[in-house]
Amino acid sequence: MPDSPEPEIAPAVPAAREATSAAPPDPETAREWLQTMTLIRRFEERAGEMYARAKVGGFLHLAIGEEATIVGSARALRTNDYLISTYRSHGNALVRGTPPENVMAELFGRVDGCSGGRGGSMHMFDLERRFMGGYGIVGGNLPIAAGIALASDYLGEEDVTLCMFGDGASNQGTFGETLNLAALWRLPVVFMVTNNQFGMGTALQRHSAVTDLQRKGESLGVPGVRCDGMDVLDTHAVVADALARVREERRPVLVEAVTYRFRGHSMADPEEYRSKEEVAQWRERDPIPAFGALLEREGIINAQQRAAIDDRARAQVDAAVAFAEASPFPPPESLYDDVYVLGDQVQGWYSVRTSEPPDGAPPPEQAGTDEISRQITTALQADGDV
């Protein structure tokens, strides 16, 4: 067989635009965007520190470097629109208004976490603010987003769903299946691929035959556009236009946000697949100092106000850590809360009334909890850190 041609390799760092086509918003809004981006950065940095101190269990995926993509897209949403994210979701919860205290408590596995301490880093959720969660399965949020959009359409509401996923998820079967169905049924959803150049540790040109990700939905009936994900203004302008098109035309749109994560895929990532020089190049386009400098040039803030914004973010994160430390762990007897089973495999709550406990078994609310609670309590008491 003849050798396959090498895929075209995208430039390591796309050239920055000389001037964004979007003007800054009003001063109050501009300052809020910078404050939120800074909060996300400081929160993520502290989350990494807490993970290193074994305060956070499981996996931890940080979005340091992607703040412009997160804030620019979310600020284009209406309050009643829906946002659904990936496992890199701390910033998405914060930008939708979930208090930092509850996000940090979730990382710590405490009862005051936004998911009751049961979801951890990858499963943030805040229904009140229509943040429909982070999801641990790559591409697993895509069909859920279509379902949310279908519900909005069925109810005759104008709400639009913004579904964020990574470049690696664009190779999953759920990507093609969901975009096809969304186009066929004309569902009000904006699919946003956060192209941070790597699917875990695999570079874009090595995992996708099509590296121009905005075009991956064209054959499925979903037009695409691209934004500079390192520029909060450009991201906001492009996503706002996409949301308006979807709301008016009742058809999905794919947005590619070209961005970069400054940290590894997760805290366990040795980052052997990229050079320090490449990361340094991208850091020159850090979206937070770039936006802050722009606001200074426009006379919206001064250097002292920028420093105050950073001080405030650090104080918020300090308070969030203190809150999480003080929050208790879920009690052992709550082990089966919100767990639904069919049959008698597990003595817990039952998903339907017709699924009854075996004859002679204790009621569902008592089943199996005494011995399990005793064992868990004993184990917790044996751990000096608890």
Q: What are phi and psi of 24, to 5 degrees?
A: -60, 150
Query: What's the rounded mean pLDDT across residues 21-42?
Result: 94
Query: What's the rounded mean pLDDT across residues 136-144?
Result: 94
270-291 pLDDT per residue, tens: 788 888 898 889 889 999 999 9
Query: What's the rounded mean pLDDT across residues 63-76?
Result: 96
Q: What are phi and psi of 153, to 5 degrees?
A: -65, -45
| Residue 371 reports pLDDT greater than 60 | no
Q: Which of 112, 114, 159, 151 is nearest to 134 (CA)?
A: 114
Instruction: Give residue 104's pLDDT band: very low, low, confident or very high (50, 70, 90).
Output: very high
Cβ-contact 55, 63 below 8 angstroms: no
Query: What's the rounded mean pLDDT across residues 219-234?
Result: 96
pLDDT at position 359 = 59
pLDDT at position 2 = 45
| Residue 259 reports pLDDT greater than 80 | yes
Range 364-367 contact pairs with CB under 8 angstroms and sequence separation of 24 or more: 367/336
pLDDT at position 283 = 87
pLDDT at position 1 = 43
Q: Please give the order of strands across the beta sheet that includes 161-166.
A: 82-84, 161-166, 189-195, 253-258, 224-228
Query: What's the rounded mean pLDDT across residues 83-99?
Result: 96
pLDDT at position 372 = 55
| Range with top average pLDDT, 12-16, 275-279, 358-362 | 275-279
What is the rounded distance in angstroms from the CA atom of residue 302 to the CA atom of residue 61? 33
pLDDT at position 67 = 97
305-335 pLDDT per residue, tens: 999 999 999 999 999 999 999 999 999 888 8
pLDDT at position 269 = 73
Instruction: Give residue 13's pLDDT band: very low, low, confident or very high (50, 70, 90).
Output: very low
pLDDT at position 227 = 96
pLDDT at position 195 = 93
What is the rounded distance in angstroms from the CA atom of residue 87 to the CA atom of residue 342? 28
Cβ-contact 246, 274 below 8 angstroms: no
| Residue 163 reports pLDDT greater than 70 | yes
Higher pLDDT, 339 or 146: 146
Cβ-contact 94, 256 below 8 angstroms: no
**What proportion of the chain, given as a percentage, has pLDDT over 90?**
67
Instruction: Give residue 12's pLDDT band: very low, low, confident or very high (50, 70, 90).
Output: very low
Cβ-contact 83, 93 below 8 angstroms: no
| Residue 226 reports pLDDT greater than 60 | yes
**In this structure, what token pair is assigned to residue 219?**
């054959």
pLDDT at position 348 = 52
234-253 pLDDT per residue, tens: 999 999 999 999 999 999 99
What is the rounded distance in angstroms from the CA atom of residue 151 to the CA atom of residue 145? 10
What is the rounded distance in angstroms from the CA atom of residue 285 to the CA atom of residue 275? 17
Average of per-residue pLDDT values in the chain: 87
What's the pTM?
Answer: 0.83
pLDDT at position 382 = 66
Query: What's the rounded mean pLDDT across residues 100-113?
Result: 97
Instruction: Give residue 383's pLDDT band: very low, low, confident or very high (50, 70, 90).
Output: low
pLDDT at position 294 = 96
**What proportion of the chain, given as a percentage, has pLDDT over 70?**
82
Query: What's the rounded mean pLDDT across residues 199-211?
Result: 86
CA 123, 128, 134 angle in degrees (round to 5)?
20
pLDDT at position 202 = 84
HEC readout, the chain: CCCCCCCCCCCCCCCCCCCCCCCCCCHHHHHHHHHHHHHHHHHHHHHHHHHHCCCCCCCCCCCCCCHHHHHHHHCCCCCCCEEECCCCCHHHHHHCCCCHHHHHHHHCCCCCCCCCCCCCCCCCCEHHHCECCCCCCCCCHHHHHHHHHHHHHHCCCCCCEEEEEEHHHHHCHHHHHHHHHHHHCCCCEEEEEEECCEECCEEHHHHCCCCCHHHCCHHHCCCEEEEECCCHHHHHHHHHHHHHHHHHHCCCEEEEEECCCCCCCCCCCCCCCCCHHHHHHHHCCCHHHHHHHHHHHCCCCCHHHHHHHHHHHHHHHHHHHHHHHHCCCCCHHHCCCCCCECCCCCCCCECCCCCCCCCCCCCCCCCCHHHHHHHHHHHHHHCCCC
How many of the other CB atoms lie within 10 Å of CB of 35? 17
pLDDT at position 258 = 95
